[in-house]
Amino acid sequence: MTILDIPELALVALVGVSGSGKSTFAARHFAPSQVLASDAFRAMVADDENDQSASADAFGALHHVAGVRLRRGRLTVVDATNLQPHARAGLVQVAREHDVLPVAIVLDVPEALAWERTQARADRDFDRQVLARMQRDLRRSYGQLAREGFRKVHVLRGVEEIDAAEVRLDKLHNDRRELTGPFDIVGDVHGCRAELEELLARLGFVLHRDDAGRPVDAVHPAGRTAVFVGDLVDRGPDSPGVLRLVMGMVAAGHAICVPGNHEHKLLRKLRGQDVKLTHGLAETMAQLDAEDPAFVTGAATFIDGLASHFVLDGGRLVVAHAGLKEAYHGRASGRVRSFALWGETTGETDEYGLPVRYPWARDYRGAATVVYGHTPTPTPEWINNTLCVDTGCVFGGKLTALRYPERELVAVDAQREWYAPARPLVSAPTRPDTVLDLADVTGRRHLEHAYGTLTVPAENAAAALEVMSRFAVDPGRLVWLPPTMAPCSTSTVEGFLEHPAQAFGDYRSAGVERVVCEEKHMGSRAVVLVEREPGPFGGGVVHTRTGRPFFGPPWDGELLDRVRAAVGTAGLWDELGTDRLLLDCELLPWSAKAGGLIREQYAGVGAAGRAALPAALDALEAAGARGLPVDALRDRMTARRAEIESYSAAYRTYVAPTEGLRGVTLAPFSVLAGAKVTFTDRDHGWHLALADRLCAADPEFFTPTRRQVVELADDAAVTAATDWWLALTGAGGEGMVVKPYAGPAARSARGSLLQPGIKCRGREYLRIIYGPGYTDPAQLAALRRRSLGRKRGLALREHALGLAALDGYAADVPLWRRHALVFAILACESEPVDPRL
């Protein structure tokens, strides 16, 4: 039996004449979806698998599909004769583009047998000479395959060998996804053996020494694994000592290690290549001179055996010396190795003559955490889920380790500056992951998050981009946007479009037992992010439901000052252990923000009605007096005049004089998040109790939210809440929002997210929405046919995005990731825009 070793991710080219059994072989050893056959692609593009004139197009399509599969990390087998160098070159190129290994499997059967088989097939019709030419091409191919770039060439000669062959898929060396840690990932050591010993001890490792007292292993009692990011050697006082310890740990299974550029160079030197003894290599060579030659040989073998990078912990962690962009994770090629060792450079040099490194981390959008070294920085900073743990120990900085998955840093100081740096250690610009990329949000985008999935159409993204880029507050502080809210199911109660009976019914049928009815303030939604320290950027932000600043300076700042003071007076900073809070509020009165809208839209309608209807009635009176039959029309106009009065009264309730912040109040009803914490799992009793404390702290500025807690099975409580709503709306209130008492992230018994709130608006208030005369029985009947499905779906999707965005804020995920969620909420709310306009 011949075992064919093939990397798990490879491009496999079958090579053989027609009738050699390639398709048969492919069907036996690979899944149908893994096999791309030229015949099938000819049929796909030309409806005829033997149409040779379609070959160029067929191969074009085949290469494209092969490329897509390889990009997605899928093993791909190409079933074509692959006898011509140019045909194979195309495949090698596709493999290279995706940094996977090209492999060839040659099936070589006697020409006579291939001819016999071909003749037996109805779907093959060509001369013997064609087969003979193929056979000649095959002979010629033998010497060329390896040179063409195939990293493995398996040759199977004769039917027996072909039939007996078995394919074995090998994991790539860099694939250690089965190792789940926990890990302690150590930055560039550069021969600082004493600091390494100290760091390992600090991490809890127990050092083992040989008879000469030299450390040869370190074991963690809790089974933690050390991970070395490379650059163990050069510049420092004891590179051999570091090598000895790390080699011992790796051999014993207590550590894993990737190579750095310094190991790479050392290996070339040890192999006798012409290498300049710069950047500390001279010191290492001198130190190695004092070592036993067997140790030096062992070190060379060790370095030679190191994989360019590791993919660990189920793919959630990647370690490479200079970092690694996402497309290269788990791939194997020259350029992957080169990126892992040196990183990408821009081709420029800085003022110290050192190459400028391409800031790949800034553009990193991968899900895997990438930990690396190579570029010394004073303090490690997370950039888009990547972290450099080289803190320049050999230059007198620190030796740092990252505990994973805890994400804690442990560092020890260098004993001294062992080597003068060519340039001073400069920190990366602070929070460099605040750089957003247009490509993060534009176009049609599919979002997957912890609460669901969603596709944002390109048209909606375009509309959201307009608002986001021109009007919205700093994306870093735009933590969350409120979801839209669906109304209750349409009421069947005489004269009502919305009624509490339906709001309660909606939750009851979702299995909710207890709800809270909150007075719906009629103002403007305000999201307040307030920071304990006022700070140079205002100490927070207050924005509208579309992310715009509220009134602008200086009032937004004053508003934040008021909130900050109240949070302090109420003692919430310390009690909640946070230095910032995100509050969901309504800002009152409505006219404070919506004055223009009220004047232009609502007052205009009222004024027109009040001017026109009395005149119309006068004319109708006069006509009636002359005996004309206008009674019906006059009655209708009389009714309309009453409706217009009710309409004007409805919006006027929400108008009050304000000047700056004078007359403005804030009604908070949810405390959504703090520093590294969300409160979406707290029940509304908790949320409202905190709101009450803010009201108590500054009763002039905060408006309390009246509420009723209702057990839905308790008929008396339901009746009481209904009466409460009737009184509230009868006195001009907008209505109420009914929420699951369990809190903003409440779920149904079946585990799905519930509507976070259902609004139940008052009969008079709805005149503002549906028009003065909507209570007319005919209009009401038409409105009852309103469809709520879309609104409900939208509300739930936006709610889910909002919860994910809050979690992301608390978990300090890269800005681009949480911003994409907030952006999607805005996109859901936006009218689609034709992206061509």
Interacting residue ranges for ligand CTP, rule: CB under 6 A: 16, 18-24, 81, 117, 121, 124, 159
Q: Which is nearer to Mg ion, 83 or 233 (CB)?
A: 83
Q: Which of 11, 731, 813, 833 is nearest to 467 (CA)?
A: 833
Binding window for Mg ion (CB under 5 A); candidates: 16-24, 375-383, 481-489, 558-566: 16-24
Q: Are 437 and 363 in contact (CB under 8 A)?
A: yes
Q: Are 445 and 495 in contact (CB under 8 A)?
A: no
Q: Is the dihedral of CA 586, 589, 594, 600 positive or negative?
A: positive
Q: Are 233 and 261 in contact (CB under 8 A)?
A: no
Question: What is the nearest approach in angstroms of ligand CTP to the Cβ of residue 21?
Answer: 3
Q: If phi over 0 gives left and psi between -120 and 50 gives alpha, with beta otherwise, what is residue 349?
A: beta
Question: Cα–Cα distance between 599 and 607 in angstroms, integer?
Answer: 10
Question: Cα–Cα distance between 656 and 647 in angstroms, integer?
Answer: 17
Beta-carbon contacts of 552 under 8 Å, excluding residues fewer than 6 positions away, are none
Q: Which does 124 bind (CB under 5 to 8 A by kind): ligand CTP, Mg ion, none?
A: ligand CTP
# binding residues, Mg ion (CB under 5 A): 1
Alpha-carbon distances, residue 72 vs 321, 361, 366 (angstroms): 24, 21, 13
Residues in 339-358 that interact with Mg ion by CB under 5 A: none
Q: Which is nearer to Mg ion, 26 or 250 (CB)?
A: 26
Q: Which does 16 bind (CB under 5 to 8 A by kind): ligand CTP, Mg ion, none?
A: ligand CTP
Q: Are 207 and 218 in contact (CB under 8 A)?
A: yes
Question: What is the nearest approach in angstroms of ligand CTP to the Cβ of residue 16?
Answer: 5
Question: What is the nearest approach in angstroms of ligand CTP to the Cβ of residue 123?
Answer: 8
Question: What is the nearest approach in angstroms of ligand CTP to the Cβ of residue 819?
Answer: 52
What does the block give as tokens for 273?
């290549």
Binding window for Mg ion (CB under 5 A); candidates: 19-27, 505-513, 699-707, 829-837: 19-27
Question: What is the nearest approach in angstroms of Mg ion to the Cβ of residue 28?
Answer: 13
Q: Which is nearer to ligand CTP, 23 or 379 (CB)?
A: 23
Question: What is the nearest approach in angstroms of ligand CTP to the Cβ of residue 204?
Answer: 59
Question: What is the nearest approach in angstroms of ligand CTP to the Cβ of residue 817?
Answer: 47
Residue 388 main-chain phi, psi, to 5 deg: -95, 125
Q: Which is nearer to ligand CTP, 108 or 188 (CB)?
A: 108
Look at residue 652 and give its three-state secondary structure: helix
Among 23, 84, 379, 442, interactor with Mg ion by CB under 5 A: 23
Alpha-carbon distances, residue 377 vs 373, 380, 417, 620, 806 (angstroms): 9, 7, 15, 86, 31
Question: What is the nearest approach in angstroms of ligand CTP to the Cβ of residue 117?
Answer: 4
Question: Cα–Cα distance between 54 and 43 in angstroms, integer?
Answer: 9
Question: Cα–Cα distance between 192 and 262 in angstroms, integer?
Answer: 14
Q: Which is nearer to ligand CTP, 81 or 665 (CB)?
A: 81
Residue 641 main-chain phi, psi, to 5 deg: -65, -40
- The label of the residue with tokens 């309409």 reads 647
Question: What is the nearest approach in angstroms of ligand CTP to the Cβ of residue 26?
Answer: 8
3-state helix, strand, coil in the chain (%, to 5): 40, 20, 35
Binding window for Mg ion (CB under 5 A); candidates: 18-26, 27-35, 313-321, 783-791: 18-26
Burial of 428 (C-beta count, 10 Å sphere; 0-12/13-18/19+): middle
24 touching Mg ion, by CB under 5 A? no
Q: Which is nearer to Mg ion, 77 or 481 (CB)?
A: 77
Question: What is the nearest approach in angstroms of Mg ion to the Cβ of residue 483?
Answer: 56
Q: Which does 802 bind (CB under 5 to 8 A by kind): ligand CTP, Mg ion, none?
A: none
Q: Which does 265 bind (CB under 5 to 8 A by kind): Mg ion, ligand CTP, none?
A: none
Task: Tell me the one-letter amino acid at 300.
Answer: A
Q: Which does 19 bind (CB under 5 to 8 A by kind): ligand CTP, Mg ion, none?
A: ligand CTP
Question: What is the nearest approach in angstroms of Mg ion to the Cβ of residue 124?
Answer: 9
Q: Which is nearer to ligand CTP, 22 or 520 (CB)?
A: 22
Q: Which is nearer to ligand CTP, 159 or 300 (CB)?
A: 159
The DSSP H or E segment spanning 471 is: none
Q: Which is nearer to ligand CTP, 124 or 202 (CB)?
A: 124
Question: What is the nearest approach in angstroms of ligand CTP to the Cβ of residue 183?
Answer: 47
Question: What is the nearest approach in angstroms of Mg ion to the Cβ of residue 46?
Answer: 17
Q: Which does 21 bind (CB under 5 to 8 A by kind): Mg ion, ligand CTP, none?
A: ligand CTP
Question: What is the nearest approach in angstroms of ligand CTP to the Cβ of residue 106?
Answer: 11
Q: Which is nearer to Mg ion, 23 or 489 (CB)?
A: 23
Q: Are 412 and 202 in contact (CB under 8 A)?
A: yes
Q: Are 11 and 100 in contact (CB under 8 A)?
A: yes
Q: Are 373 and 260 in contact (CB under 8 A)?
A: yes
Beta-carbon contacts of 280 under 8 Å, excluding residues fewer than 6 positions away, are 190, 191, 233, 234, 235, 236, 262, 394, 419
Binding window for Mg ion (CB under 5 A); candidates: 9-17, 20-28, 659-667, 768-776: 20-28
Q: Which is nearer to ligand CTP, 124 or 208 (CB)?
A: 124
- The label of the residue with tokens 């994991």 reads 171
Q: Which does 81 bind (CB under 5 to 8 A by kind): Mg ion, ligand CTP, none?
A: ligand CTP
What does the block give as tokens for 416?
């001294």
Residue of minimal Cβ distance to Mg ion: 23
Q: Which is nearer to Mg ion, 107 or 462 (CB)?
A: 107
User: Which x/- pattern over 717-736 shows residues binding Mg ion (rule: CB under 5 A)?
Assistant: --------------------
Q: Which is nearer to ligand CTP, 110 or 577 (CB)?
A: 110
Question: What is the nearest approach in angstroms of Mg ion to the Cβ of residue 232?
Answer: 51
Q: Which is nearer to ligand CTP, 18 or 638 (CB)?
A: 18
CA 134 to chain centre: 51
Beta-carbon contacts of 594 under 8 Å, excluding residues fewer than 6 positions away, are 524
User: Within a 13 Å sphere around the CA of 765, how many CA atoms are in the beta-carbon half?
Assistant: 23
Q: Which is nearer to Mg ion, 23 or 84 (CB)?
A: 23
Q: Which residues bind Mg ion (CB under 5 A)?
A: 23
